[in-house]
Structure 1
Amino acid sequence: MSPICIKNTGKYGRGVYATRDIQKDELIEVSPVIISPKHEWKYLKKTALFHHCFYWGDDDETVIALGNGSLFNHSYTPNATFDNNLEDLTIDFYAHKDIKAGEEITINYNGEPDDKSPLWFDVIE
């Protein structure tokens, strides 16, 4: 059984939640990706898909995470992290700390858990 489910947050739309206790460093989700070349970014950012993209590799490409990968909400104090798996063409999500059943699972959209850089939207925590 998957350790996650999708629920309405009541505040930010949909979000990813733990269905059971998850231990620190445990793999939570593996999301296949669709790669969008750099020259397509100017079109992609004008669509609803913009909010579901991740930066990818060293060529300024972006990807759209399939499955539940594009539904993790942002937090400057996240309980999960993600790694771009360039070889397998997936984004792998891991618990950054112990997560209790029923808790929302969040990531830092800047990539690093401690990165407090501003984002393209106003962050409400």
Structure 2
Amino acid sequence: MGLIYTKDTKKYGRGVYSKSDIRAGQVIEISPVILFLKEESEYIKDTIISSYWFNWQANNFDSALALGYGSLFNHSYTPNAAFYNNYDSLEIIFYALSNIKANEEIVINYNGNSTDKSFLWFDVIN
């Protein structure tokens, strides 16, 4: 069984939570991706998928939809997890920035850098 599960956060809809304690630096999820060409991204911007995609700047691709739990992590400007794009394996790797307790929500910074507090397309609650 995996390290994580989803449930309603009571604030932002569905979120990703840890099943057990996770150590800082530990890989949480490896999500394969579906890639979108730059010209395809224009069509996606008007769909629900636009709320779930990741930037993917490689080989004429513009964005990616993470499969598995990857597109379900919520945003925080004080994240306990981070991610990086593995362009060779076509995956997004999510890992713990700090120790995460069992049943704690796992959150990432959607800007791609854990300290980046740049504006996002929605009102940030925390």
User: Would you call these one fold, judging by a TM-score over 0.5?
Assistant: yes
Cα RMSD after superposing both structures: 0.9
Figure out how many residues of one structure are paired with residues of the other and give that number.
Answer: 125
**TM-score, with length taken from structure 1:** 0.97
Matching residue of 1:76: 77
Deviation at 1:85, TM superposition (A): 0.6
Matching residue of 1:96: 97
Deviation at 1:60, TM superposition (A): 5.6
- Answer whether contact 2:83 2:95 (CA < 8 A) is retained: yes
Deviation at 1:57, TM superposition (A): 2.4
Structure 2 letter corresponding to 1:4: I
Deviation at 1:77, TM superposition (A): 0.1
**Unpaired stretches in structure 1, ≥5 consecutive residues:** none
Deviation at 1:41, TM superposition (A): 1.1
Equivalences for residues 22-37 of structure 1 within 5 A: 22-37=22-37
Equivalences for residues 1-125 of structure 1 within 5 A: 1-58=1-58, 59=60, 61-125=62-126
Moved over 6 A (4+): none
Is the partner of 2:25 in helix, strand or coil?
Answer: coil
**Unpaired stretches in structure 2, ≥5 consecutive residues:** none
Q: Distance in 2 between matches of 1:85 and 1:51?
A: 21
Q: Distance in 2 between matches of 1:79 and 1:19?
A: 15
Q: Percent of aligned positions with the same letter in both sequences?
A: 55
**TM-score, with length taken from structure 2:** 0.96
Structure 2 letter corresponding to 1:79: N
Is the partner of 2:17 in helix, strand or coil?
Answer: strand
Deviation at 1:61, TM superposition (A): 0.9
